[in-house]
């Protein structure tokens, strides 16, 4: 498995999430706008190549990235490990205003740096012309300038590589589900490499993600809409639209007919809630009024470290917490299951008949159980991981 | 023949090397020395790839009489091959060699791009010597780049090899002839070192 | 080149073919010479420019070959003998002017030398342009050997002036770049007084306006000149015959094929059976001479390179005079006795002739030939062409290749003519996907850039050098700007016509003779045309790549120009003066353990960077390294290190 088969089976096959796991390791591929591209052909074809070893869309063994089933904290096939589920928001209303939603992530990140959970944090930064690029943040004060959500992919994992190269030993990462998977894969293969590339990962703060937009078709659409340069985007709950605020107007795009603008790889994604993070954060989409909910985040606490970390934020008073409304977790599960089912269907369709299933390693002993749990309507809550 | 020791008429000499080694310069210098002795000389060469690492050769043809001669030596008709780079000698033999050909070789390889890039192999000197011995009457190997470096610049190998060739082939050409051939074609400050290289090549070849 | 203007009749000098041509022109009393550099023609003007002041000449590197012809023609109109020199392509570039010049005629002798390149040693075509002579009704001389070349040029001037017609002279690589011994003739010291007379009647060749109209009358005059030339060529001293009075087989040859045919007969010891008619004047043909030699032989073997120009003419001639000459069997290119493509040489002709005469030709013992072929195959790795160490093009194309790949829209480069043509090979990362004439890359780019309405979304780049920009690139660029074509033009400005030996061009502040000249600013010209222009140093890889990606553009964005400025590594300003001392730090280079898969040597391919097979690490060859420091930017481990060097002013 070398770069050329990664190109054929992942990049050119529409499976690449743009997480950046294969970027910045060598001079043979690069990231531009929102895609990884082969720049020069690398003739190496051994199994030691980091590009394929790290890629979450190549030979992914769920059992390896999720690790052995833990007896602390429930593990669900839809949402992964859950040690706790809360609604949270930044205590500081100014910060909330800047952060589009509840600002929980900014608070947690600033705290991670301030309290020494991480020496540096990798976040998605904006580049000119809508494209995203990873940014390294080492001061809690800088965190707020990276707040706000985006619908474009950032090669964030390449920022982790850059931080390691720069000598950081404790690195925090704000990761989407696919990026969290990549980081988990790096951890799972870490022993294979002399320099143990997973060792520097100190905390992963996950963000929920349903899909991302593909940059070029979106830009074309933006031009047609005539709203000028993009200022902000949001998905108001329950409306089924994307709000686009440009410097010369506001437009609302209905999700119907949205498909061509969504990144192809997102159709094959099995994760909505960044299951492999220490803590995952998303906007609160419950059945309560949106104007109230838009200032809150849903938080899934997943690991022991995540739990300790979250508690500290609450103790320090930087986060306000409340219990989630009844049925909220169930609703989240339902949505996550639906996405997984859709992704599995898409993978079956893509791979065709036979045992192959896209990027999932079919030798993985956990895979049949996982498939059964997801594909059986209303399946077991205690599933594969 | 011609009072200078031409063994044959026309007498055919191929100078070969890699672009940038001074092959064109050496062939002109040889031809000038011979023309100054009243001989009719032609040089056939191709420019173009000369500065881009390509194989280069110059064909020098010498005759006592004025006659129509192709500037390119016919197949198998080279009497001498003078190679600034040993691998190039082998390439020349494929087209122009014969069991009668004799050679003067600089032993310093210039690696082709594919070898530099680690994709191809350059033959070992033993293998190359075996090939060249099998394909020629005589092959004289000399460390002319070494001699040239000792005189201040590896580029002087092109003049040194001429000295060596003159000695080996028995042409009655001296340092004075070299001086006459060079004096108008190179800057004065380079004249002395070139003449020294010519003489050093002659001595190295046993003159 | 002192001998070029040595007035020492009878002295012998060793001249390059192109120098012999220059000397011939000088012996003919040349006053003005103009040219555009191109292999294998460049040394004609180069050597004349060197002696320009001593010989009281005006020489120039013109912006292109058409203008070179025009500059030379003006001198002729004003009574000064002139020469225009170019490679084969140039005749095609200037043919529009020549078409009209044939009709207007000339006054003082004007000779147009075009040096062709059979075998395409340094061309991307194998043009045989002799048909222009028939097409334009102009006399054609073909040079066969260095020694006689000088004489033919002198005669060409005399005939041009006598008939007031421009004379075409064809050389080829094997003549222009061969050297031979030439006997010097006297050098005249003409009194030159340039005056253009135009007060007379339009049909007055000496006093009328120099105009191609009235066309029918001017064509009649031209055809009268041709008839006169035909007669004159009967006595032309360099149409020569060798061999028996009545050979069975007559070889008819022109150009350097004369030498191949002569030596082929000699090597086969076939002078008893075969004769050789060596023609210099191949249009119009000397009919009396032909008749005299064509009567006896039953077989006519035409030996020529290029197309079957002479063969077709002879066939037509024999058909026309069939009664007198009888039936002939023709051998040549048409029925395959000689190959249709590539260069000829003694062996090709000897083999063909041996076949025709029923002889055998075995120049090398078979056992030797197979042994040599095997040894070469086993032990002699090919030398691939590469950009020189320190060449700015490698850096430029490295960035272009990266930007095209990252952009990912199937972008490509329309190539052009210069050293940078090598970018169609691995040396330049194979980014060039079209390659035609000078300036054509941008013309093609202009066309590709208008295909958006048909769904075309591939990014189109064109490249051209600084000299090509002025030559024919400029009209293509103007076309692209005016028509709002979506094109990114990258001008590889290495400050000279590097490929052919640093001849100046209009962008530089000096001329062919080394005197001060007006430098035309490329950036200023592009801005004035209305293109968006950026300038960068190609040695700054990141910045160049950033600019390229940013300029890759969207549909409807129009023309963008990126000028990548860095002098050629062999230019006088850079040669021997590396900016950096570059070395591989062995402690940092991880070699094969790196995972970079030998990126620096395998992909970047600078001849000065090599892979040390024993140490399994990269190394810098300090003899070859030009010190550009670019490779220090590409090593993922940072093992290639550069130290700035300071040169005294």
Tell me, yes or no, whether A96 and A85 share the same domain.
yes
Nearest to C506 by CA among C475, C471, C534: C471
Lowest mean pLDDT among B38-52, C550-564, C601-615: B38-52
Mutate to test the interface with C, among B25, B38, B48, B58 (most CBs of C within 10 A): B48
| C556/C299 Cα distance (integer angstroms) | 64
In a domain, A380, yes or no: no
Looking at residue A379, its pLDDT comes to 46
Beta bridge partners of C641: C583
Number of structural domains found in chain A: 3
- The minimal CB distance from C595 to the residues A26, A37, A38 is found for A26
Average pLDDT over residues A285-310: 85
| Six token digits for residue C592 | 């094969």
Q: Find where tokens 């490509």 sit.
A: C412
State which of A199, A226, A261 marks the end of a domain: A261
Looking at residue C513, its pLDDT comes to 93
C603 contacts on A by Cβ (under 8 Å): 27, 40
Strand, coil or helix: C35: strand
Tell me, yes or no, whether A91 and A222 share the same domain.
no
Looking at residue A286, its pLDDT comes to 67
- Listed as own residue / partner, the contacts of C423-428 with beta carbons closer than 8 Å and 24 or more positions apart are C423/C393, C423/C397, C423/C463, C425/C384, C425/C385, C426/C384, C426/C605, C427/B113, C427/C384, C427/C385, C427/C386, C427/C387, C427/C394, C427/C605, C428/C387, C428/C393, C428/C394, C428/C397, C428/C401
Integer Rg of chain B from CA: 16
In a domain, A382, yes or no: no
B93 contacts on C by Cβ (under 8 Å): 372, 375-376
In a domain, A274, yes or no: yes
| Six token digits for residue B184 | 């108008």
Would you place residue C647 in the very low, low, confident or very high pLDDT band (cuts 50, 70, 90)? confident
Angle at A323 between CA A322 and CA A324, to 5 degrees: 115
Tell me, yes or no, whether A169 and A83 share the same domain.
yes
Average pLDDT over residues C450-457: 94
Q: Which domains does chain B have, with CATH numbers?
A: 11-204 (3.40.920.10)
Integer Rg of chain C from CA: 28
Percent of chain C whose pLDDT exceeds 90: 90
**Burial class of B65 by CB neighbour count within 10 A (0 to 12, 13 to 18, 19+):** exposed
Chain A closest-CA separation from residue C352 CA (Å): 47
| C551/C459 Cα distance (integer angstroms) | 10
Tell me, yes or no, whether A30 and A153 share the same domain.
no
Tell me, yes or no, whether A291 and A355 share the same domain.
no
3-state helix, strand, coil in chain A (%, to 5): 35, 20, 40
| C210/C202 Cα distance (integer angstroms) | 8
Average pLDDT over residues C523-531: 97
| C214/C152 Cα distance (integer angstroms) | 33
Mutate to test the interface with C, among A3, A32, A38, A217 (most CBs of C within 10 A): A32
Looking at residue B53, its pLDDT comes to 73
Looking at residue A47, its pLDDT comes to 62
Average pLDDT over residues C295-313: 97
Domain C392-565 coded CATH 3.40.50.970? yes
- For chain C, give every residue range classified as CATH 3.30.70.20: 580-644
Nearest to A188 by CA among A309, A276, A82: A276
Lowest mean pLDDT among B45-54, B169-178, C297-306, C403-412: B45-54
Chain B closest-CA separation from residue C384 CA (Å): 6
Domain C580-644 coded CATH 3.30.450.20? no
CB interface of C with A, residues 546-575, below 8 Å: 549
Enclosing domain of residue A158 = 70-212+265-337
Strand, coil or helix: C606: coil
Neighbours of C324 (CB within 10 A): 10
**Burial class of B100 by CB neighbour count within 10 A (0 to 12, 13 to 18, 19+):** middle
> A192 and chain C: CB distance < 8 Å anywhere?
no
Q: Which CATH number among 3.40.50.1820, 3.40.50.920, 3.40.50.620, 3.30.1510.10 corresponds to the domain C240-357?
A: 3.40.50.920
Q: Find where tokens 């610049």 sit.
A: B153
- Listed as own residue / partner, the contacts of C644-648 with beta carbons closer than 8 Å and 24 or more positions apart are C644/C579, C644/C580, C645/C578, C645/C579, C645/C580, C645/C581, C647/C577
Average pLDDT over residues C262-279: 97
Beta bridge partners of C33: C59, C83
Percent of chain A whose pLDDT exceeds 70: 94
**Burial class of C59 by CB neighbour count within 10 A (0 to 12, 13 to 18, 19+):** buried
Tell me, yes or no, whether A154 and A273 share the same domain.
yes
Give residues with Cβ within 8 angstroms of C84, minimum separation 6: C33, C34, C35, C65, C68, C69, C71, C72, C73, C94, C110, C111, C112, C113
In a domain, A384, yes or no: no
C364 contacts on B by Cβ (under 8 Å): 75-76, 97-98
Q: What is the pLDDT of residues A219-264, one digit of tens each?
A: 888 888 888 888 888 777 777 788 888 888 888 888 877 778 999 9
B114/C384 touch (CB, cutoff 8 Å), yes or no? yes
| C356/C299 Cα distance (integer angstroms) | 9
Tell me, yes or no, whether A130 and A166 share the same domain.
yes
Report chain C's mean pLDDT, rounded to a whole number. Answer: 95
Average pLDDT over residues C182-203: 94
Alpha carbon C221 to its chain's center? 33
Would you place residue C497 in the very low, low, confident or very high pLDDT band (cuts 50, 70, 90)? confident
Nearest to C113 by CA among C228, C232, C22: C22
Which H or E element spans position B55?
strand B55-63
Would the pTM count as exceeding 0.80?
Answer: yes
Per the CB < 8 A criterion, the answer to whether B78 and B90 are in contact is: no
| Six token digits for residue A214 | 């593909």
Q: What is the pLDDT of residues C375-388, one digit of tens each?
A: 999 999 988 888 99
Give residues with Cβ within 8 angstroms of C464, minimum separation 6: C416, C418, C439, C441, C442, C473, C489, C490, C491, C492
Looking at residue A381, its pLDDT comes to 45
Lowest mean pLDDT among A103-107, A267-271, C621-625: C621-625
| Six token digits for residue A225 | 């809409």
Residue A384 in this model has a pLDDT that exceeds 80:
no
Looking at residue A148, its pLDDT comes to 74
3-state helix, strand, coil in chain C (%, to 5): 40, 20, 45
Residue C278 in this model has a pLDDT that exceeds 90:
yes
Tell me, yes or no, whether A227 and A368 share the same domain.
no
State which of A245, A261, A277 marks the end of a domain: A261
Average pLDDT over residues B72-99: 96
Which H or E element spans position B42?
strand B40-45
DSSP string of C455-488, one letter each residue: T----EEEEEEHHHIIIIIHHHHHHHHHTT--EE
Lowest mean pLDDT among A44-58, B167-181, B188-202, C175-189: A44-58
Q: Is A70 left (phi over 0), alpha (psi -120 to 50) or beta?
A: beta
Residue C507 in this model has a pLDDT that exceeds 80:
yes
**Burial class of B130 by CB neighbour count within 10 A (0 to 12, 13 to 18, 19+):** middle
Chain C closest-CA separation from residue A159 CA (Å): 16
Please indicate whether residue B30 or residue A146 has the higher confidence score (pLDDT): B30
Give residues with Cβ within 8 angstroms of A368, minimum separation 6: none
| B184/B28 Cα distance (integer angstroms) | 12
Beta bridge partners of C532: C560
In a domain, A293, yes or no: yes
Tell me, yes or no, whether A16 and A161 share the same domain.
no
| C649/C646 Cα distance (integer angstroms) | 9
| Six token digits for residue A150 | 């985006």
- For chain C, give every residue range classified as CATH 3.40.50.970: 2-233, 392-565
* Alpha helices, H only, chain A: 3-6, 50-54, 62-66, 93-98, 104-114, 156-165, 177-189, 215-225, 290-293, 304-315, 328-351, 367-375
Tell me, yes or no, whether A85 and A159 share the same domain.
yes
Average pLDDT over residues B31-55: 83
- Widest CA span of chain B, in angstroms? 50
Residue B183 in this model has a pLDDT that exceeds 80:
yes
Nearest to C169 by CA among C119, C225, C130, C117: C130
**Burial class of A307 by CB neighbour count within 10 A (0 to 12, 13 to 18, 19+):** middle
> C407 and chain A: CB distance < 8 Å anywhere?
yes
CB interface of A with C, residues 17-56, below 8 Å: 25-28, 30-32, 35, 37-40, 42-44, 48-50
Question: Which CATH architecture does the domain made up of C2-233 adopt?
Answer: 3-Layer(aba) Sandwich (3.40)
Average pLDDT over residues C119-145: 96
Tell me, yes or no, whether A178 and A76 share the same domain.
yes
Looking at residue A376, its pLDDT comes to 81
In a domain, A381, yes or no: no
Give residues with Cβ within 8 angstroms of A305, minimum separation 6: A203, A278
| A27/C492 Cα distance (integer angstroms) | 24
Tell me, yes or no, whether A49 and A147 share the same domain.
no
Average pLDDT over residues C478-494: 97
Angle at A285 between CA A283 and CA A287, to 5 degrees: 155
Residue C463 in this model has a pLDDT that exceeds 70:
yes
- For chain C, give every residue range classified as CATH 3.40.50.920: 240-357
Per the CB < 8 A criterion, the answer to whether C171 and C17 are in contact is: yes
A27 contacts on C by Cβ (under 8 Å): 596, 599, 603, 634, 636
């Amino acid at each position: 498995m070398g770069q050329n088969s990664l190109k054929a089976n992942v990049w050119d096959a529409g499976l690449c999430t743009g997480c950046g796991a294969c970027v910045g390791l060598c001079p043979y591929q690069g990231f531009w706008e929102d895609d990884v591209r082969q720049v020069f052909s690398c003739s190496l074809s051994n199994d030691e190549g980091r590009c394929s070893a790290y890629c979450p869309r190549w030979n992914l063994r769920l059992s390896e990235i999720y690790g052995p089933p833990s007896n602390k904290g429930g593990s669900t096939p839809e949402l992964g490990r859950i040690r706790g589920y809360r609604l949270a928001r930044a205590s500081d209303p100014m910060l909330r205003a800047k952060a589009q939603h509840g600002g929980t992530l900014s608070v947690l990140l600033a705290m991670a740096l301030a309290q020494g959970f991480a020496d540096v944090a990798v976040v998605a930064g904006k580049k000119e012309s809508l494209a995203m690029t990873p940014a390294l943040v080492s001061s809690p004060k800088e965190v707020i300038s990276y707040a706000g959500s985006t619908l474009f992919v950032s090669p964030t994992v390449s920022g982790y590589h850059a931080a390691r190269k720069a000598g950081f030993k404790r690195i925090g990462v704000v990761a989407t589900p696919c990026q969290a998977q990549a980081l988990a894969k790096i951890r799972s293969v870490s022993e294979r490499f002399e320099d143990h590339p997973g060792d520097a990962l100190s905390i992963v703060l996950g963000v929920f993600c349903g899909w991302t937009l593909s940059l070029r078709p979106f830009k074309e659409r933006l031009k047609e809409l005539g709203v000028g340069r993009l200022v902000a985007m949001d998905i108001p709950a329950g409306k089924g639209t994307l709000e686009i605020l440009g410097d010369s107007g506001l437009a609302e795009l209905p999700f119907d007919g949205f498909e061509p603008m969504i990144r192809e790889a997102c159709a094959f994604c099995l994760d909505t809630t960044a299951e492999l993070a220490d803590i995952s954060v998303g906007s609160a989409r419950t059945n309560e009024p949106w104007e109230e909910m838009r200032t809150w985040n849903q938080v899934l606490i997943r690991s022991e470290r995540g739990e300790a970390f979250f508690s500290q934020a609450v103790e320090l008073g930087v986060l306000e917490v409340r219990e989630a409304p009844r049925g909220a977790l169930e609703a989240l599960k339902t949505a996550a299951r639906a996405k997984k089912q859709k992704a599995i269907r898409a993978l079956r369709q893509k791979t065709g008949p036979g045992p192959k299933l896209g990027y999932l390693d079919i030798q993985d002993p956990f895979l049949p159980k996982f498939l059964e749990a997801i594909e059986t309507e209303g399946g077991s809550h205690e599933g594969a991981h | 023949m011609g009072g200078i020791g031409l063994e044959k008429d026309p007498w055919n000499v191929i100078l070969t090397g890699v672009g940038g080694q001074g092959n064109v310069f050496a062939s002109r210098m040889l031809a000038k020395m011979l023309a100054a002795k009243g001989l009719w000389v032609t040089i056939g060469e191709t420019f173009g790839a000369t500065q881009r690492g390509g194989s280069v050769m110059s064909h020098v043809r010498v005759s006592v009489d004025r006659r129509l001669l192709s500037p390119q030596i016919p197949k198998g008709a080279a009497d001498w091959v003078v190679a600034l780079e040993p691998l190039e000698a082998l390439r020349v033999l494929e087209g122009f060699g014969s069991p009668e050909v004799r050679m003067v070789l600089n032993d310093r390889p210039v690696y082709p791009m594919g070898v530099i890039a680690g994709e191809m192999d350059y033959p070992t000197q033993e293998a190359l010597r075996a090939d060249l011995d099998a394909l020629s009457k005589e092959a004289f190997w000399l460390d002319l780049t070494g001699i040239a470096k000792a005189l201040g610049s590896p580029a002087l190998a092109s003049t040194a090899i001429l000295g060596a060739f003159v000695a080996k082939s028995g042409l009655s050409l001296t340092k004075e002839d070299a001086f006459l051939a060079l004096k108008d074609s190179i800057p004065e400050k380079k004249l002395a070192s070139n003449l020294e290289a010519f003489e050093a090549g002659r001595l190295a070849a046993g003159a | 080149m002192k001998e070029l203007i040595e007035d020492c009749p009878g002295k012998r000098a060793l001249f390059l073919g192109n120098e012999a041509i220059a000397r011939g022109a000088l012996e003919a009393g040349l006053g003005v010479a103009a040219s555009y550099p191109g292999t294998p023609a460049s040394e004609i003007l180069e050597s004349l420019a060197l002696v320009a002041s001593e010989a009281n000449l005006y020489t120039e590197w013109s912006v292109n070959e058409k203008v070179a012809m025009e500059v030379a023609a003006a001198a002729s109109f004003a009574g000064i003998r002139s020469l225009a020199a170019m490679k084969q392509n140039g005749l095609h570039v200037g043919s529009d002017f020549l078409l009209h010049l044939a009709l207007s005629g000339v006054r003082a002798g004007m000779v147009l030398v075009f040096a062709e390149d059979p075998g395409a040693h340094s061309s991307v075509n194998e043009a045989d342009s002799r048909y222009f002579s028939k097409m334009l009704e102009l006399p054609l001389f073909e040079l066969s050997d260095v020694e006689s070349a000088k004489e033919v040029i002198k005669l060409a001037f005399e005939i041009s002036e006598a008939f007031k017609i421009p004379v075409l002279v064809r050389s080829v690589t094997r003549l222009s770049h061969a050297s031979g011994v030439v006997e010097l003739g006297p050098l005249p010291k003409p009194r030159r007084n340039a005056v253009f007379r135009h007060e007379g009647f339009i049909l007055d060749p000496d006093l009328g306006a120099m105009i191609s109209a009235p066309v029918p009358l001017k064509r009649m005059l031209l055809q009268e000149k041709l008839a006169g030339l035909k007669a004159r060529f009967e006595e032309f001293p360099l149409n020569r015959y060798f061999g028996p009075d009545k050979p069975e087989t007559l070889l008819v040859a022109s150009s350097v094929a004369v030498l191949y045919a002569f030596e082929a007969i000699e090597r086969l010891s076939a002078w008893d059976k075969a004769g050789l008619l060596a023609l210099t004047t191949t249009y119009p043909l000397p009919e009396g001479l032909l008749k005299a030699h064509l009567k006896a032989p039953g077989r006519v073997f035409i030996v020529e390179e290029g197309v079957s120009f002479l063969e077709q003419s002879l066939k037509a001639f024999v058909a026309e005079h069939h009664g007198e000459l009888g039936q002939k069997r023709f051998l040549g290119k048409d029925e395959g006795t000689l190959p249709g493509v590539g260069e000829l040489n003694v062996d090709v002709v000897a083999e063909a002739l041996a076949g025709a005469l029923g002889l055998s030709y075995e120049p090398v013992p078979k056992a030797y030939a197979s042994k040599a072929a095997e040894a070469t195959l086993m032990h002699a790795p090919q030398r691939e062409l590469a950009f020189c160490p320190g060449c700015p093009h490698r850096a430029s194309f490295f960035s272009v290749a990266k930007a095209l790949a990252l952009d990912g829209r199937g972008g490509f480069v329309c190539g052009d003519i210069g050293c940078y043509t090598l970018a169609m090979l691995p040396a330049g990362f194979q980014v060039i996907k079209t390659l035609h004439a000078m300036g054509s890359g941008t013309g093609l780019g202009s066309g590709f850039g208008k295909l958006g309405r048909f769904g075309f979304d591939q990014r189109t780049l064109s490249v051209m050098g600084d000299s090509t920009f002025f030559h024919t690139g400029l009209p293509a660029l103007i076309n692209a700007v005016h028509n709002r074509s979506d094109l990114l033009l990258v001008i590889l400005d290495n400050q000279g016509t590097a490929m052919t030996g640093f001849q100046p061009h209009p962008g530089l502040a000096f001329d062919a003779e080394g005197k001060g000249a007006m430098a035309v600013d490329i950036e200023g010209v592009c801005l004035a045309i209305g293109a968006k222009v950026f300038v960068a140093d190609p040695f700054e890889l990141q910045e160049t790549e950033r600019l390229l990606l940013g300029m890759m553009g969207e549909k409807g964005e129009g023309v963008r120009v990126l000028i990548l400025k860095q002098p050629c590594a062999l230019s006088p300003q850079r040669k021997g003066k590396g900016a950096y001392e570059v070395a591989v730090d062995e402690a940092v280079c991880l070699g094969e353990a790196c995972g970079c898969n030998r990126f620096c040597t395998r992909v970047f391919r600078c001849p000065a960077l090599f892979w040390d097979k024993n140490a399994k690490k990269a190394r810098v060859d300090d003899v070859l390294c030009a010190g550009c420091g670019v490779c220090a930017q590409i090593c993922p481990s940072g093992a290639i290190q550069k130290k700035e060097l300071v040169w005294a002013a």
